[in-house]
C-alpha cells in the first residue's frame, strides 16, 4: 500500500519535471491548444467530485464527533490556528519586502485611486450561512456547503435513531466519493504535466525577468514560512519531524503548485493528512475549511505586492498602514475562494484599505505574473491546511502514530 503511494508521489514529481522541460521547448499556442485540455479535463473531474466529497465527509465527520462540545472545540482551535498563521504569513511577506525593497526603481506617477469596495466583516460572516443550501451546493460555495453540512450533521445527531438511515446513506455517498476520487487521482501525474507545461510555455523567461525581484521575494518568503512556521508547529505541537511532514505533503504540494487551486487540491490534502495519521473526523472538517479560509501563501503575496506597489509609486507605508494591511489580509483571506486568481482580486481590497492604487501600471505588472505567484501561494495555502490538521489532531490526542517510520 505504502509503496504504491510512494510511486504516485514520484510519478507526480516526474510529471512536474517533464512539464517544466516540455514548457521550455513547446510553442505557447501548441501547449495551450493541445496540452492544456488534458489538465482542464482532470480539473473538471476533480471539481465534479469535490462538492459531494466535502459535503458527505463533513456530515459524516460531524456525526463522528458525537457531541457539539468537541465540534466547537475543534472549530475554535482550527480558526485560531488559521488566523494566527495567516497574520504571521502577511507579517513575513511585509518583512521580506521591507528587507528587499522591490519596485523602488520604478518611480511611477500616481494614478486615480480606486478599487473594489471592501466587503464588511459582518457581511463576510453573515454570508457563511446559506439561505438556500441547494444553491450553495450547486454553486460550489465551499463555506456555505461546510456550514450546511455541519448543520445537517448536528441535525442527524439530534434526532438519534431516526437520523441513522440518512447517516448511512451519506456515509455510503462519502465512501463512493473516496473511491472515485482515488481512481481520478491516479491520473494526477499526467494532469500535473498538462497543467504546468502551458504555464511555462506562456510565461517564458522574457516575461518573468522584469518582475524577478517580486517573484523571488514571494517565493523566498513562502519557503521561509513553510520551513519555519510549519516545521515548528508540526514539530512542536505534534512531535512529527518536518522531514516526514513534508515527505507526506509533497504530492499535495505539487498538485497545488500545478493547479493553483486549493479547492481542487482537497482530495490530495486529505490523502496527505491521512498518511500523517489524522483521523477522518478531524481532517474532513479541517481541510475543506482550510481550503476556503486559510490562505497563508495568499497573505504573503498580498504583503509583498502591497509594498511593491507602494514602492513603485514612491509611497512609504507607515507602521500603522502596515498593521492595517496585516489585519485586512487576515480577514480578506476568509473571503478568498480557493480557486486560481482569487488572491489577486482580494489584493485590490487590501490596496484600497491603505489608499494604494488598485489599478494602473504597477498592479498590471503584478497581474502579468499572477499565475507564477499563484502557484507558490496555493502551495503554501494547502501545506498550512495539512499542518493545521496535524496540530489540531495532536491537540485532541487523536493523531495516530502508526505510520511514524514511513
Ligand atoms: N489560488 C489560491 C488558492 O486556491 C488563491 C489565490 O489566488 O491566492 O489557494
Take residue 211 and report the three cell numbers written for it: 518582475
**Using 50, 70 and 90 to split pLDDT, how confident is the model at 2?**
low
Q: Give this prediction's pTM.
A: 0.86
Closest atom of ligand 1 to CA, residue 301 = 8
Ligand 1 center–CA 347 separation, angstroms? 11
Contact status, residue 261 vs residue 339, Cβ threshold 8 Å:
yes
CA of 172 to the centre of ligand 1 (A): 31
Mean pLDDT of the region 79-106: 88
Per-residue model confidence (pLDDT) at position 109 = 64
Q: Which of 90, 218, 221, 298 to mutate to test the pocket of ligand 1 (most atoms within 8 A of CB)?
A: 298
Say whether pLDDT at 273 is over 90.
Answer: yes
| 3-class DSSP string for 114-183 | CCCCCCCHHHHHHCCCCCCHHHHHHHCCHHHHHHHHHHHHHHHHHCHHHHHHHHHHHHHHHHHHHHHHHH
What tens digit of pLDDT does each residue of 6-60 get? 577 888 889 999 998 998 899 989 999 999 999 999 989 988 998 999 899 889 8
Query: How close is the Cα of 144 to the center of ligand 1, in Å?
Result: 18
Pocket test for ligand 1, best of 142, 264, 343, 382 (most atoms within 8 A of CB): 343
The full length of the chain comes to: 406
Give the Cβ contact number of residue 22 at 10 Å.
Answer: 18
Closest CA to ligand 1's atom 1: 340
Q: How far is the CA of 266 from the centre of ligand 1 (A)?
A: 13
CA–CA gap between residue 54 and residue 50 (Å, rounded): 6
Hey, which of 294, 350, 377 would you mutate to test ligand 1's pocket, going by the most ligand atoms within 8 Å of its Cβ? 377
Measuring CA to CA, which residue among 96, 142, 83 is closest to residue 333?
A: 83
Q: State the chain's mean pLDDT as an integer.
A: 87
Here the cell at position 50 is 469535490
Q: Which of 86, 297, 376 to mutate to test the pocket of ligand 1 (most atoms within 8 A of CB)?
A: 297
Helix (H, G, I), strand (E, B) or coil at 106: coil
Closest residue CA from atom 3 of ligand 1: 338
CA–centroid distance, residue 267 to ligand 1 (Å):
16
Give CA–CA dist 217/213, Å, rounded. Answer: 6
pLDDT in tens, 90-103: 999 999 999 987 77
Residues 211, 105: contact at Cβ < 8 Å?
no
pLDDT for the residue numbered 317: 87
pLDDT, tens digit (0-9, with 9 covering 90-100), for 387-400: 999 999 999 888 88
How many angstroms separate the alpha carbon of residue 128 from the centre of ligand 1?
19
Amino acid at each position: 500500500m505504502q509503496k504504491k503511494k510512494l510511486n504516485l508521489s514520484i510519478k507526480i514529481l516526474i510529471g512536474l519535471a517533464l512539464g517544466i522541460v516540455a514548457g521550455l521547448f513547446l510553442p505557447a499556442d501548441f501547449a495551450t491548444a493541445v496540452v492544456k485540455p488534458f489538465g482542464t479535463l482532470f480539473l473538471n473531474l476533480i471539481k465534479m467530485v469535490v462538492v459531494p466529497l466535502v459535503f458527505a465527509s463533513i456530515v459524516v465527520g460531524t456525526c463522528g464527533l458525537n457531541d457539539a462540545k468537541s465540534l466547537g472545540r475543534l472549530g475554535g482551535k482550527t480558526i485560531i490556528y488559521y488566523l494566527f498563521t495567516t497574520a504571521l504569513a502577511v507579517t513575513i511577506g511585509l518583512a521580506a519586502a521591507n528587507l528587499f525593497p522591490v519596485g523602488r526603481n520604478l518611480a511611477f506617477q500616481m494614478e486615480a485611486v480606486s478599487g473594489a469596495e471592501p466587503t464588511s466583516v459582518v457581511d463576510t460572516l453573515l454570508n457563511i450561512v446559506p439561505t438556500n443550501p441547494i444553491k450553495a451546493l450547486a454553486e460550489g460555495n465551499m463555506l456555505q456547503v461546510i456550514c450546511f453540512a455541519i448543520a445537517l450533521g448536528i441535525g442527524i445527531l439530534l434526532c438519534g435513531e431516526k437520523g441513522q438511515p440518512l447517516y448511512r446513506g451519506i456515509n455510503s455517498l462519502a465512501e463512493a466519493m473516496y473511491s472515485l476520487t482515488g481512481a481520478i487521482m491516479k491520473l494526477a501525474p499526467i494532469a500535473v504535466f498538462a497543467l504546468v507545461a502551458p504555464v511555462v510555455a506562456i510565461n517564458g523567461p522574457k516575461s518573468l525577468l522584469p518582475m524577478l525581484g517580486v517573484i523571488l521575494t514571494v517565493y523566498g518568503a513562502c519557503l521561509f514560512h513553510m520551513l519555519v512556521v510549519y516545521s515548528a508547529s508540526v514539530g512542536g505541537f505534534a512531535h512529527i519531524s518536518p522531514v516526514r511532514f513534508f515527505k507526506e505533503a509533497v504530492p499535495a504540494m505539487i498538485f497545488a503548485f500545478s493547479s493553483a487551486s486549493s479547492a481542487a487540491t482537497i482530495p490530495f490534502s486529505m490523502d496527505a493528512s491521512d498518511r500523517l495519521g489524522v483521523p477522518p473526523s478531524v481532517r474532513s472538517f479541517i481541510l475543506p475549511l482550510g481550503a476556503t479560509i486559510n490562505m497563508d501563501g495568499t497573505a504573503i503575496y498580498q504583503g509583498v505586492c502591497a509594498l511593491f506597489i507602494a514602492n513603485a509609486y514612491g509611497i512609504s507605508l507607515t507602521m500603522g498602514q502596515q498593521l492595517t494591511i496585516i489585519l485586512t489580509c487576515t480577514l480578506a483571506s476568509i473571503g478568498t475562494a480557493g480557486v486560481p486568481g482569487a488572491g489577486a482580486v482580494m489584493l485590490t481590497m487590501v490596496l484600497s484599505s491603505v489608499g494604494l492604487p488598485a489599478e494602473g501600471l504597477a498592479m498590471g505588472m503584478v497581474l502579468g505574473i499572477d499565475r507564477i505567484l499563484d502557484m507558490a501561494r496555493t502551495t503554501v495555502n494547502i501545506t498550512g491546511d495539512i499542518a493545521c490538521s496535524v496540530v489540531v489532531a495532536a491537540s485532541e490526542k487523536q493523531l495516530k502514530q502508526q505510520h511514524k517510520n514511513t
